[in-house]
Amino acid sequence: MTEDPYAVARQAMLETHLRGRDVVSPRVLDAMARVPRDQFVPAALRDAAYEDRALPIDCGQTISQPYVVAAIAQALHLTGGEHVLDIGTGTGYQAAVLAELAATVVTIERHAMLANEAADRLARLGYANVTCVIGDGTQGHSAQAPYDVIVAAAATPEIPPLLFDQLREEGRMVLPLGPSEDQVLYAIRKHHGKAQRMPLFPCRFVPLVSGEQ
């Protein structure tokens, strides 16, 4: 096996930014240790891959901060058998972390260029359990619904109703809600068809763009 030049930086990220804060789930920490974030960021930013911050990617978007990806994964309590819908593929990094923790992941991206690059990258890294879809994530992906878990990496004022319809009863959702300057990450459970919301922490994501905007 060839040596991984980023192994030390990845381990340091785990200690300082994840375990050093409140990411304690062994499954989530293992997943974060397995996914090479350096392969997801633009080549020029590779040396910053294990700093705990969002980084710019193509199409004016960002790859999420490692802590946020790990905190989302931990809030989902994945046990390995789940069918997951991930909205906002971006680079595919969060989809890869989810793919380490669940059975199948469907990920949707509205920018075809990002979606195609992510699909190639995920295939190259061996994530055969991820399906990349180009489309508007606010519509979900009914062909493979219902989902046990839905995650969005882009913020919206309210839960898109079509997405909520595609979540199974007792399913879980994590997404940022609110305007761009004032977002909160929520964990949501579908109970008797209604959304039970629990705020996790303030956050800042790119907007979830719906329709033809």
Q: How far apart are CA 2 and CA 140, in angstroms?
A: 40
DSSP codes, 101-132: HSSEEEEEES-HHHHHHHHHHHHHTT-TTEEE
Contact range with ligand SAH by CB under 6 A, out of 62-70, 71-79, 167-175, 189-197: 62-70
> What string marks each residue from 149 to 188 as x (binds ligand SAH by CB under 6 A) or -?
----xx----------------------------------
Q: How far apart are CA 209 and CA 144, in angstroms?
A: 22
Q: Which is nearer to ligand SAH, 113 or 194 (CB)?
A: 113
Q: Which is nearer to ligand SAH, 9 or 208 (CB)?
A: 208
Q: How far apart are CA 117 and CA 104, in angstroms?
A: 19
Given a contact cutoff of 8 angstroms between Cβ atoms, the answer to whether 170 and 143 are in contact is: no
Least distance (Å) from ligand SAH to the CB of residue 141? 10
Q: Which residues pair with 155 in a beta bridge?
A: 207
Count of C-beta atoms within a 10 Å radius of residue 12: 12
Q: Is 64 an annotated catalytic residue?
A: yes
Question: Is residue 121 a contact point for ligand SAH (CB under 6 A)?
Answer: no
Q: Tokens 């705020």 appear where?
A: 199
Please, which of residues 88-117 interact with ligand SAH by CB under 6 A?
88, 90-91, 93-94, 108-111, 114
Which positions lie near ligand SAH, rule CB under 6 A? 61-64, 87-88, 90-91, 93-94, 108-111, 114, 136-138, 153-154, 206, 208-210
